[in-house]
Structure 1
Amino acid sequence: MVHRLRPVGHEFVRVAPVRLVFERETAAAPERVHRALAKDVTGWTEWFGPVTSARPLDDGAGRGIRLRGGALFRETVLVSEEPEVYAYRVDVTNAPGARALAEEWRLAPAGTGTRVRWTFAADGTAPFRLLLKAARPGLERTFRSAVTSLDRRLAG
């Protein structure tokens, strides 16, 4: 069942009850990484493994995302400041137990490449929060794989 989440602002990524933060470096410049995150929404299916469908909504102010396994997300872009930050919140999802979700991709120069930091911020029922904390190693593997795939895609 699809349900509406509590609308949160960009600050939620710093104060959420569950915050999972991962970092990795790429060879691509921050501008190219930001463009792949913010402008090439449909391209997410090519480098972020769990994403099976990604489409921009509302002239780029939102996104519609579908993951393997059937999870659905309708998102609102909170911040898109090239080349440093891309952040969005989930407004509607079918993920049970979720009350608020937001993600931030923060990019910083690292030599000739980019340090990519992904923050997954969430609030939900106690079982939902416990599940997310238990899923941390899997989310970290997914992130590492995604950034590696994105780096290959941007180099090609």
Structure 2
Amino acid sequence: MATVTLSESRAVPIPVEEAFDRVLAHPLPSVFRRRRLAIPPIRDVRHQDGEWGSVGQTRTIVLADGGTMRETLTSNDRPHAFGYTISEVRGPMKPLVASADGRWTFEPAGTGTRITWTWVLTPTAAGRVAMPAFGAMWRGYARQALEEVEAILLGD
């Protein structure tokens, strides 16, 4: 099944190491707190053992629409990038998304850091038809999340 790659970036005036450490450990509901059209905010995170950061850790993401997803941390290359897999999608997104491989990267940009969030999405057969619309919604959702990340990092 073909994948779809979605990506958004934002530069912030924070050192790379600080940006990486704070984004990796930050609670998801405060980063993903806003709806973007059909993509809901994250309401809760369950079944996480300890601080997020060890490869192999898993947790359940609970969306505001009642859907859930299992997240598994697949890589941690501090301070450059961390990756994860989204699986076991339940709820309204299940007909569209089979799984996703996510990656956050942190690169020097001037006196700060360029943060990039990427999803390599495996759509369902039905989801393939909806991918242009879903992709546009996801990019807006990612822009909102990166705005939240910047506000968190800058202490706003």
TM-score under structure 2 length normalisation: 0.77
Secondary structure of 1:83 counterpart: coil
* Other-structure match for 2:149: 150
| Deviation (angstroms), 1:136 | 2.0
* Other-structure match for 1:46: 30
* Other-structure match for 2:72: 76
* Other-structure match for 1:134: 133
Instruction: State how many pairs are aligned.
Output: 140
| Deviation (angstroms), 1:85 | 0.7
Residue ranges of structure 1 left out of the alignment (5+ in a row): 1-14
CA, structure 1 residues 79+16, in 2 after alignment: closer, same or farther (shift >3 Å)? farther
For 1:36, give the aligned amino acid. R
* Other-structure match for 1:104: 103
**1:116 matched to 2:104:** no
Secondary structure of 1:28 counterpart: coil
Residue by residue, what CA displacement relative to the aligned partner does 1:65-113 show, whole Å, maximum 9, x if unpaired?
1122222111110111111111100232212343332111111111222
Rounded to whole Å, the distance in 1 between the matches of 2:98 and 2:136 is 22
CA, structure 1 residues 16+57, in 2 after alignment: closer, same or farther (shift >3 Å)? farther
Structure with higher helix content: 1
CA, structure 1 residues 143+99, in 2 after alignment: closer, same or farther (shift >3 Å)? closer
* Other-structure match for 2:6: 20
Contact in 2 for aligned 1:90/1:100 (Cα 8 Å): yes
Contact in 2 for aligned 1:51/1:66 (Cα 8 Å): yes
For 2:108, give the aligned amino acid. P
For 1:84, give the aligned amino acid. H
* Other-structure match for 1:5: none
Residue ranges of structure 2 left out of the alignment (5+ in a row): 34-40
| Deviation (angstroms), 1:57 | 2.4
CA RMSD of aligned residues (A): 2.1
Secondary structure of 2:127 counterpart: helix
TM-score under structure 1 length normalisation: 0.77
Contact in 1 for aligned 2:123/2:131 (Cα 8 Å): no
Rounded to whole Å, the distance in 2 between the matches of 1:123 and 1:38 is 23
Residue by residue, what CA displacement relative to the aligned partner does 1:119-146 show, whole Å, maximum 9, x if unpaired?
1112132321232331222222221121
